[in-house]
Amino acid sequence: MRRTLTSLGTVCGVAVFVFVMLRALPGNQIIAGFGTEAAALTPAQRTALEAYYGLDKPLIVQFFTWIGGVVTGNLGYSASANHSVLELTAHSLPVTLELALISIVIAFLIGVPLGMFSASKPDSIRDATGQVIGLAGLSIPSFLLATALLSWLSSSLGFNPNGAGYATLTENPELNLKQMLLPALVLGFGIAAPIMRTTRTAVLDVRSLDFVRTARAKGVPPRRLQFVHVLGNALLPIITMTGLQFGYLLGGAVVVEQIFSLPGIGRQVLIGIQHKEYAVVQSTVLVIAVLFVIVNLVTDLLYRMIDPRVRAE
């Protein structure tokens, strides 16, 4: 209950922050829609457009009008897309969730074994190799890796499934998985680096504890010792890092979504900013914040399932 109330406070803080920041940016929906022709609008036309977009009301009234709509399920309307924000989110959110899930699985399958491989012999060539791979994942920008990978595969192998229109998992599962493969690899490689470093540190910390030395002295097989005794007790920081990275993917994959033409929720925010559509940006960011909070709550629940010491506390 305490974490839930704290999470609600976080969501409320995000709502206020994004509302204020959007209005601090220069321009509005009228200028974005008319461009330079906005200067030619008469005062009556400008007044009518401000009333149409709700910009004529005081900021406090605009805020509570938006929040009241969100509470009742009305996230606003996108004039550029000619759809409600709820409809846009219903189409874009599954795309981002699928991309995030595939990416986090790839990152986990790369990061955890690589971290254990690196920690098996600290300060050795094996450890240095793992550290270099982790450093590369942290250093290479996702947009650079995505562009290079897409260009090379398209020119050399003729493989560019993202050149076609986006296919949902229900419409064409094979094409959908092909379209998700490259962006998931790009994101997964970048996220695998912090997971790898967290795994290495956690495994080294656990290996120095007394119960591991006792198990080794009792003749526990090395593989069982490594995966059951060491990794099992090092999972909490690994899960924490994985949960944080998954939450980041919900809103931080916008660049990769743009490069690979995926109609995800991050791209929806970007288009909303370009058109200065306050309702689109505010409501979409709020949805991302709620999902991030849910991911953190689920991570806390996983603590209790995995480690009995957390349940005891």
pLDDT average per 10 residues of sequence, the chain (313 residues): 82 89 78 69 80 81 87 83 87 91 92 88 84 85 86 81 80 86 90 90 85 82 80 83 85 83 87 83 88 85 72 57
Give the pLDDT score at 262. Answer: 87
One domain, residues 164 and 308: yes
Instruction: For residue 58, report the phi and psi dihedrals to the nearest 5 degrees.
Output: -60, 155
Please spell the DSSP secondary structure of 175-210, one letter per residue: HHHHHHHHHHHHHHHHHHHHHHHHHHHHHHHHHTSH
One domain, residues 24 and 46: yes
What are the helix (H) ranges across 153-277? Answer: 173-207, 210-217, 222-224, 231-233, 235-252, 254-259, 265-274
Q: Which domain holds residue 204?
A: 91-312
One domain, residues 96 and 70: no
One domain, residues 149 and 206: yes
One domain, residues 167 and 28: no
Give the pLDDT score at 104. Answer: 93
One domain, residues 168 and 290: yes
Gap between the Cα atoms of 269 and 266, Å rounded = 5
Token reading at 168: 């949902």
One domain, residues 141 and 198: yes
Long-range contacts of 58-63 (CB under 8 A, 24+ apart): 59/23, 62/19, 63/16, 63/19
CATH code of the domain containing 268: 1.10.3720.10
At position 88, the amino acid (one-letter code) is: L
Cβ atoms 162, 179 nearer than 8 A: yes
Gap between the Cα atoms of 200 and 182, Å rounded = 27
Give the pLDDT score at 77. Answer: 83
**Domain end among 51, 85, 119:** 85
Q: Which residues contact 117 (CB under 8 A, 6 or more apart)?
A: 126, 130
One domain, residues 133 and 105: yes
Token reading at 228: 């059951």
Gap between the Cα atoms of 106 and 189, Å rounded = 8
**Domain end among 85, 106, 130:** 85
Cβ atoms 162, 182 nearer than 8 A: yes
One domain, residues 75 and 122: no
One domain, residues 81 and 109: no
Nearest alpha-carbon partner for 3 in 308, 309, 295: 295
Give me the residue label for tokens 């897309």: 81
Domains held by the chain: number? 2
Token reading at 138: 């942290």
One domain, residues 95 and 80: no
The H or E element containing residue 88 is helix 85-120
Q: What is the pLDDT of residues 218-244, one digit of tens each?
A: 888 877 888 777 887 788 888 888 888
**Domain end among 85, 100, 128:** 85
In three-state secondary structure terms, 107 is helix
Give the pLDDT score at 36. Answer: 66
The bridge status of strand 77-78 relative to strand 83-84 is antiparallel
Give the pLDDT score at 109. Answer: 92
Query: What letter would DSSP give residue 225?
Result: I
One domain, residues 290 and 271: yes
pTM: 0.83
